[in-house]
Structure 1
Amino acid sequence: MPISPNQGSTGGGTLVTITGTNLSGTSAVNFGSKPATSVTNVSPTQVTAVSPSGTGTVGVTVTTAGGTSNPVSFFYVGAPFKSSISPTSGTMAGGNTLTLNGTGLSTATSVSFGGTTATPTVVSDSQLTVTVPAGAGPGPVSVSVTTAGGTNNGLSYTYVDTPTIDSITPDEGSTTSATAVTIVGANLGSTESVTFGGVNAPFDAINATTLSAVAPAAAAGTVDVVVTNPGGSATAVDGFTYISNPAI
């Protein structure tokens, strides 16, 4: 007498299908000592039932006028617990791989990002990976995991727009000393790096539209300025010019 699924939440509420013979007139389905909260006779070979709350492993039996069947094992599974996710933010387009750590993850069937679901790959009971779906808009969304034990959330993931660069002031500086510059654009609040000609520059995110950076000294010529955040990168092609000191 197989039962499907053979596991469910400790809180009950799992709809299971029991297949066997001589099931017509089923009067009761018990999960251990507890009766199912709902029983439906589908056919002489099939009965559906909704599991009550419980813990551990219990035997499921079917009772008809002819007696009570042999027990079939049903496993109660606790709700998942999430301890961390990495990374915690990324591009609006999604597509990057997120790792989620916790407990009770071995039966995970879906991960929801603010209502958009993705199918995870279970690594172990304490870890799964999932490809982040595209976001509906910038900002944080709740992350929830659904397993045989139920659904749990409590962590968040932030979708970040690609930055833009509107201006760099001043847009030129010395070849022999660092130059303080102001970069104005959009989506700059989560900036992770600023480079001048591929060289990392110290910076401070003033707000979502303004960065303060220090262009390091470099050889004479023009270089690209690149601002990068979790959503991507913006490049000001030939955005900064290094000028040699005058000589007499």
Structure 2
Amino acid sequence: MAPTVSTVSPSQGPTTGGTTVTITGAGLTGATAVRFGGTPAASYTVNSSTQITAVTPAHSAGSAPVTVVNPTGTSNSVPFTYVTAALPTVTAVTPSTGPMSGGTTVSVTGTGLTGATAVSFAGTPASFTVNSATLITAVAPVGSAGAAEVVVTTPGGQSAVSPGSYFFYAASPVLQSAVPSLSPTAGGPTVTLTGSNLLNASAVLFGSTNATTYTVDSSTQISAKAPAGTGTTQITVVTPGGTSNPLPFAYVAAPTLTGLAPTGGPTSAGTVVTLTGTGFSTATAVQFGMTAVGFTVVSDTQITATVPGGPAGPVTVTVTSGGGTSTGLTYTRVAAPAI
């Protein structure tokens, strides 16, 4: 009894051939040939007496009768339609940058994307979903820093590389230093961050707080205004390449100055004064009026400083630290008695 063919799925494919089709029917065991319009299939496998898997040969556009031959005869025919499939095109990849670790979901737009069988980034296969003839959603695989051509394969062939078909893998940002590494709790100082791969930064974070004002000076430097905060935290930078390593940063309260000993002295330089208060451990300056003087931080509550020479009368003493400047106390210079 001759074999019979009931269905061919899919029922159409490109004129270039290469479509894998499933032929169902009866009496298919022992098939010696599968033909598409008289042309032998490129290859075929007899799965069972009711199913054959075949790869279509090249054929001119139009309907081609599919038949199966075995020692008992030739089956009835079921049509398979050959269509002229246009090559797919990729016109844009959005977003066009992402980390080397992969995982970025991108929209691949173009034409002729229906039936896509593969999407690759620089030759590496990507997972993807065909949304329409003009849109594919793909997940970027792991890649190397630099440009990666995005290629879509359909039954019509592979898309050609175009200016809009590139995805750029960005290296991870690296931070090396933050100067200064302290700020008043109210924020405000400009912090210079140095490192590498800092271009296109989308955020500079002090803990979880984004610095609302920052400038990417170069691939190795960012200037950021510290936002308000408290306690110790970490600075990180976010770029298309990911999130950088953290650098320590601390918010400190302004120092308080509560005592001077002695509170006065001669107009000549050289008197050593002991300053008492709080928040002195990060002191950066001690001033008598407008004059900065040498000082020694004895502890968080004590500093010793040498009074500069100056005219007789009161002068305001202040301490400045990473947290700001203290309120002032008065030191009085007394002129030597006239003889």
Q: Matches of 1:70 and 1:225 in 2, distance apart?
A: 71
- Higher RCO, 1 or 2 (CA under 8 Å, sep at least 6)? 1
Distance 1:26 1:47, change over 3 A: farther
Match of 2:121 in 1: 113
Note if contact 1:82-1:101 (Cα within 8 Å) is conserved in structure 2. Answer: yes
Cα shift at 1:82: 2.0
Greater CA drift, 168-177 or 157-166: 168-177
Bigger Cα Rg:
2
Q: Does 1:138 align with 2:145?
A: yes
Select which of 188, 197, 218 maps to 1:206. 218
Match of 2:292 in 1: none
Match of 2:58 in 1: 52
Q: Which amino acid aligns with 1:142?
A: E
Match of 1:101 in 2: 109
Q: Does 1:171 align with 2:177?
A: no
- TM-score with structure 2 length normalisation? 0.56
Cα shift at 1:37: 8.5
Note if contact 2:36-2:64 (Cα within 8 Å) is conserved in structure 1. Answer: no
Note if contact 1:88-1:156 (Cα within 8 Å) is conserved in structure 2. Answer: yes
Match of 2:274 in 1: none
Distance 1:27 1:90, change over 3 A: closer
Distance 1:221 1:25, change over 3 A: closer
What stretches of structure 2 of length at least 5 have no aligned partner?
253-321, 329-339
Match of 1:191 in 2: 201
Distance 1:164 1:49, change over 3 A: closer
Note if contact 2:203-2:211 (Cα within 8 Å) is conserved in structure 1. Answer: no
Match of 1:247 in 2: 327
Q: Does 1:160 align with 2:166?
A: no
Q: Does 1:224 align with 2:234?
A: yes
Deviation digits for residues 173-218 of structure 1, max 9, x if unmatched? Answer: 56778544432212223422223443333212412xx123131464
- State how 1:116-127 maps to structure 2 within 5 Å: 116-127=124-135
Note if contact 2:36-2:57 (Cα within 8 Å) is conserved in structure 1. Answer: no
Q: Matches of 2:17 and 2:63 in 1, distance apart?
A: 13
Note if contact 2:181-2:248 (Cα within 8 Å) is conserved in structure 1. Answer: no
The residue matched to 2:101 in structure 1 has which SS? coil
Size of the alignment, in residue pairs?
240
Q: Matches of 1:158 and 1:223 in 2, distance apart?
A: 32
- TM-score with structure 1 length normalisation? 0.72
The residue matched to 2:325 in structure 1 has which SS? coil
Cα shift at 1:148: 2.0
Distance 1:96 1:223, change over 3 A: same
The residue matched to 1:95 in structure 2 has which SS? coil
Q: Does 1:9 align with 2:14?
A: yes
Distance 1:218 1:120, change over 3 A: closer
The residue matched to 1:120 in structure 2 has which SS? strand
Distance 1:178 1:59, change over 3 A: same
Distance 1:157 1:26, change over 3 A: same
What stretches of structure 1 of length at least 5 have no aligned partner?
none
Note if contact 2:42-2:57 (Cα within 8 Å) is conserved in structure 1. Answer: no
Cα shift at 1:26: 6.0
Note if contact 1:3-1:18 (Cα within 8 Å) is conserved in structure 2. Answer: yes
- State how 1:69-108 maps to structure 2 within 5 Å: 70=77, 72-76=79-83, 77-108=85-116
What is the root-mean-square deviation in Å for CA atoms of aligned residues? 3.9
